[in-house]
Amino acid sequence: MANSSNEVSGLEEILNFVPTGEPVVSVYLLVDRSRITKRDYQTKLNSMIASSKEKLEADTNIDKSQRKEVFEIFEKVKAFVNDKFRTDSTRTLAIFSSGDGLWEEFRIPIIMRSKIIIDPKPYTQNIRSLINNSKKYGVLLIDREKAQIYSVYLGEINECLAAFISDVPSKVNFKSQAVLSERKLYGRLEEKLHHFFKLVNDRTMELFKGKKFDYLILAGRKEIIPNFLNYLHSYLQSIYIGNIDAEPDSNISLISNKAQKVIDEFEAKTKNDLIDRLIDEYNPNGLGVLGIDATIKSLLIEKIRILIYDRQFTHEGYICGSCRYLTIEYKDKCPYCGGKPVFYNDIVDEIVEDALNQGCEIVDIEGNEKLIRAGSIGAVLRYKL
């Protein structure tokens, strides 16, 4: 989610922020390369900053020194976006900054509406919803002597949950002149290995019960993993999603890259399976909807539990400037409040934004033909229509 190694600590700082009396600038900028060019999002940022400056100039509740600090933050944000930021796979860039030194940027993997909010605290409602939907992955690295458990969260290894050292040698060499004694030694070492594997399993189970991870990846030599799997608790086996070739003392970036490949494959399969259920089971039985019109109607009455959409999908629509009523049909006035609907070239990011505000789970995917044929967007509902 972020582009720095201190991602989680920075995220915790933002989520647990204690107001200092200084205004905090929260910037959300849609930068998805499949939907918008660099020039477009730079223009959008400039427009939002200009609008925010006008409001600040008219705001009598903010003093001149604070206004000056906010204006300086705006310039710092523009310089970062124009000169340092590289989009890569980022869909939305979030920046939080204040005059007393706060500066955190995060790369958000879903599309969100561009906006600037100035408050005593960072604006994090949508990030909290995203975090609540994000899964934690435990990576258990094990050999005959050592074991370590890492947590992979929001795309990065960020915490060592536990580490173990055994007194079991990595291998035993038999000597022809002392075969019997060596065999006895081997038996004792295998018994110690049995206790070591059992200890690692028990501790891993404790971490799972403590909600330290949702899914488990095993890492070790090819001959180690099948042996250790026999010790793995049935609950852990049910959340085991794959293994990688790595050891407890392997380079952390190597572990992260290999684990991420397993995670990406698992999440892609999970999303595709969910789409199959939406189309084949949920929708026919009234627990799902397909297509943008049906999705918006369900969103407006807060019935959506999981919003599902194709990342490349865009659609024109209208949004009421007063109450945020959404529709794809032109209307002279909002049927809810009588306000004037405003035309948008694309309202998909607005749909995602409103779904996040309602605490919905967000599932984005690319290239699923069944979903594309069904309208490229749909939802699993909280209850039947």
- 302 conformational bin, left if phi > 0, alpha if psi -120 to 50, beta if neither: left
Question: What pLDDT, on the 0 to 100 scale, is given for residue 287?
Answer: 96
Distances in Å between the Cα of 38 and the Cα atoms of 26, 86, 87, 169, 259 are 20, 10, 9, 56, 31
Question: What pLDDT, on the 0 to 100 scale, is given for residue 113?
Answer: 87
Structure tokens belonging to residue 156: 């990065």
Are 164 and 202 a contacting pair, CB within 8 Å? Answer: no
Q: Which of 216, 213, 260 is nearest to 234 (CA)?
A: 216
Range 165-168, long-range pairs (CB < 8 A, 24+ positions): 166/192, 166/193, 166/196, 167/192, 168/144, 168/192, 168/193, 168/196
**Residue 325 in 3-state DSSP?**
coil
Structure tokens belonging to residue 188: 């004792």
Buried residues in 335-345 as b, exposed as e (16+ CB within 10 A): eeeebebeebe
Are 286 and 385 a contacting pair, CB within 8 Å? Answer: yes
The fold of the 136-267 domain, in CATH, is Nucleotidyltransferase; domain 5 (3.30.420)
127 CB-contact burial (10 Å; exposed 0-12 / middle 13-18 / buried 19+): buried
Can you list the positions of beta strands (E) in the chain? 24-30, 92-98, 103-108, 115-119, 136-142, 146-153, 156-165, 215-219, 240-244, 288-290, 304-310, 317-320, 326-327, 341-344, 361-365, 377-381
Q: Give the H or E element holding residue 125.
A: helix 125-133
What whole-number distance in Å separates Cα of residue 113 and Cα of residue 313? 15
| Domain positions in the chain | 7-131, 136-267, 283-381
Q: Which residues contact 114 (CB under 8 A, 6 or more apart)?
A: 28, 29, 30, 41, 44, 45, 48
Which residues of the chain are modeled with pLDDT < 50?
1-6, 174-177, 180
CATH of domain 283-381: 3.30.1330.30
Question: What pLDDT, on the 0 to 100 scale, is given for residue 182?
Answer: 53
Angle at 121 between CA 120 and CA 126, to 5 degrees: 140
Question: What pLDDT, on the 0 to 100 scale, is given for residue 229?
Answer: 93
Question: What pLDDT, on the 0 to 100 scale, is given for residue 6?
Answer: 45
Are 79 and 67 a contacting pair, CB within 8 Å? Answer: no
Q: What is the pLDDT of residues 48-107, one digit of tens each?
A: 999 999 999 988 878 889 999 999 999 999 999 999 999 887 889 999 999 888 999 998
Q: Count helices and strands (H / E) in the chain.
A: 11, 16
Question: What pLDDT, on the 0 to 100 scale, is given for residue 319?
Answer: 92
Q: What is the pLDDT of residues 293-343, one digit of tens each?
A: 999 999 999 999 999 999 889 999 999 988 889 999 998 999 999 999 999
Question: What pLDDT, on the 0 to 100 scale, is given for residue 117?
Answer: 92
Can you list the positions of beta strands (E) in 45-203? 92-98, 103-108, 115-119, 136-142, 146-153, 156-165
The fold of the 7-131 domain, in CATH, is 3.30.960
CA 171 to chain centroid: 41
Question: What pLDDT, on the 0 to 100 scale, is given for residue 170?
Answer: 54
Question: What pLDDT, on the 0 to 100 scale, is given for residue 5?
Answer: 39
Q: Do domains 7-131 and 283-381 have the same CATH topology?
A: no
